[in-house]
Amino acid sequence: MWGGRYSTGMDAVMEEINASIDFDKTLWRQDIAGSRAHVAMLAQQDIVTQADAAAIDKGLAAVHAEIEAGSFTFSRSLEDIHMNVESRLAEIIGAPAGRLHTARSRNDQVATDMRLWVRDTVDDLDAQLRDLQLALLDKAEAFAGAVMPGFTHLQSAQPTTFGHHLMAYVEMLGRDRGRLQDARKRMNECPLGAAALCGTSFPIDRAMTAKALGFDRPTANSLDSVSDRDFALESLSAASICAMHLSRFAEEIVLWATPQFNFVRLSDRFSTGSSIMPQKRNPDAAELVRGKTGRVIGALNALLIVMKGLPLSYAKDMQEDKEGTFDALRTLSLCIAAMAGMVRDMEPNVKVMKKAAGAGYATATDLADWLVRTLKTPFREAHHVTARLVGVASDKGVGLEKLTLADLQAVEPRITQDVFAVLGVDKSVRSRVSYGGTAPQQVRVQVRRWKSRLGKEQKV
């Protein structure tokens, strides 16, 4: 490649640290697509002849077929995917292959390849997240009225429903998809034609190659074009937030599947056993989703650290963008698939959840609200009265709903029999009818809203 300048070959250690083909062969489809668009433009602009362009395009199609069939031999001595493809092209078509690299550099070539790969992967992740949302919506609809404890500080707080709880993750995933879609819009500019760093003197048509590769437009500054990895950073940032959401859900599944909680049962398809304890059902899929989140976040941190000290424009450090990005986005894809499977197979234990929902005096807020609403008691005073009544119930070893009217009136004489209408967990969740609240009717409203939204996406 640069034999005209160098008289000796690389040291073995230099070859080892310099070669990227072991991982950037992932980009072969994008690299060939970019080259075919580039040579078509060169021919259109009379930079290469139509005959040479046709030969190059035919040869690139042959290379594509070989790699797809698994018969292509990648060579580390050729460093990267670009030179591996170009070298094989030369073997197939001869001298015309040498014209392919006219008016471009590996700098703008790899920047284009990476944008194409990340863009394709973001599209796949978005589709997967939509599928996970649909799985959650189906489960939430089926269990919109299944009462369970709502927690703060992992302490019983107020009764909620299983459907409402799952809908929280639908909302989170919606934001995750929005971030990925937003990142995609910004990355959809084509660096091809920026060449090494300053553009080219050839009369190229960058808009033509951008359009051929599905970009909205060419990038506007050649220095930025070859040195920018914001598109990878932004996608990794969105992926990290998404992975964090999946990890939170995975942690809840791990807790819910314990005998101590016994809120859900995972299917055999997403559980494992123990080599020594035959009774065990381990939620390993959830644990691995939780664990793999570190890899996604780690990739973001690693690339930020790579980029933070680089002057313009390109530096070889930027070769380190690939392995972490490939691994992180593939890892996220696997985690989303595992979570969708767990959700679809998950069986909630409705009776156990409902019983747990009443523990810890979870309807205390309902009692305080009743005092405010019915007796016009200032909330701070109602809070104090309710706390005293919780103490009475605790001393008696019963729930608030089991106190007698006399017990209640001993603390607040104005309380009437009507108070018992708000003290059961079913009554509590049904009463929370504010928009976005936990009332089953509100849960179903949100399920319908999301199903309509996702249905419209599919039509588009």
CB atoms within 10 A of CB 307: 19
Is residue 274 part of the annotated active site? The answer reads: yes
Contact 212, 40 (CB under 8 A): yes
**What are the backbone dihedrals phi and psi of residue 217, each rounded to the nearest 5 degrees, phi first?**
-170, 165
Is residue 384 part of the annotated active site? The answer reads: no
Catalytic residue from among 153, 201, 275, 434: 153
Q: Among all chains, which residue has been given the structure tokens 């920018």?
A: 228
- If we measure between CA atoms, which residue out of 161, 139, 165, 158 comes closest to residue 148? 161
Catalytic residue from among 75, 274, 394, 452: 274
Give the length of the chain: 460
- If we measure between CA atoms, which residue out of 331, 355, 191, 327 comes closest to residue 247? 331
CB atoms within 10 A of CB 82: 26
Query: Exposure pattern of 140-151 as b/e (b: 16+ CB <10 Å)?
Result: bbebbbbbbbbb
293, two tokens = 């989140």
Q: Which helix (H) or strand (E) holds 348?
A: strand 347-348
CA dihedral 21, 23, 28, 29 (to 10 degrees): 180
Q: Among all chains, which residue has been given the structure tokens 């590996």?
A: 106
- If we measure between CA atoms, which residue out of 58, 51, 50 comes closest to residue 32? 58
Strands 189-190 and 217-218: parallel
Distance separating alpha carbons of residues 376 and 374, to the nearest angstrom: 6
- If we measure between CA atoms, which residue out of 136, 224, 228 comes closest to residue 177? 136
Strands 155-161 and 264-265: unpaired
449, two tokens = 């809203």
Extended strands (E) in 134-209:
147-152, 155-161, 189-190
Contact 149, 157 (CB under 8 A): yes
Contact 287, 295 (CB under 8 A): no
Residue 456 CB partners (closer than 8 Å, separation 6+): none
Active site residues: 153, 274
